Amino acid sequence: MRKNSKQTNIYLQRLNIVINHIRENSMEDLALSELAQVAGFSTFHFHRLFKSLTNETVSDMATRFRLERAASLLRATPGLSITDAAFQCGFRSVSVFSRTFKKHHGINAREWDRQSSLKNSKNGKVTDEFPRYTLEKLSEFAKQGRFEVHLRSLPAQRLAYIRVYDSYSSFR
């Protein structure tokens, strides 16, 4: 039985709230019942719906978020050890991180050059053609006089966004 698009949009909105919750709390152990409550569904219905709409389980998504964060940290900070990245991203041990990284990306974290794209990574899919700037690269540019670099701290700010999946039908 096919759900109508209005009901599907409501499901997507509720799941987006859960996805944001997972992203913000990916370092914690998230109970399925807690996430179902965030979405406003029964645990059974939530798990089935989440898997069918995202093509991954809640656990797989939380692990992927941790891995993507670790890969971003390793790429942006060449001096960061794999151990530090693993612990900063919520992995309980380096061995768990290493096994998970290899299983997901098909390469050991130590073998990765920290610049090339990773298999199964959703990080940077749109922006691979754009240069990536690390603090070290910006410092090199500044030394060469190519442009002046100023690093400054900004106060914490709240940002808002709206995820739009079907832009034409949402504005009718």
Tell me the domain boundaries of the chain: 5-59, 60-109
- Angle CA(142)–CA(143)–CA(147) in degrees, nearest 5? 30
Q: Determine if the pTM surpasses 0.85.
A: no
Please determine, for residue 112, whether its predicted confidence score (pLDDT) is greater than 90. no
The CATH number of the structural domain formed by 60-109 is: 1.10.10.60
* Mean pLDDT along residues 96-117: 87
Query: What is the tens place of the pLDDT at every residue in 60-94?
Result: 999 988 998 998 888 888 888 999 999 998 898 99
The reported pLDDT for the residue numbered 96 is 92
Does 60-109 match 5-59 at the fold level?
A: yes
Give the residue from 143, 153, 169, 77 showing the smallest Cα distance to 115: 77
Return the CATH architecture of domain 5-59.
Orthogonal Bundle (1.10)
Task: Assess whether pLDDT exceeds 90 at residue 123.
Answer: no
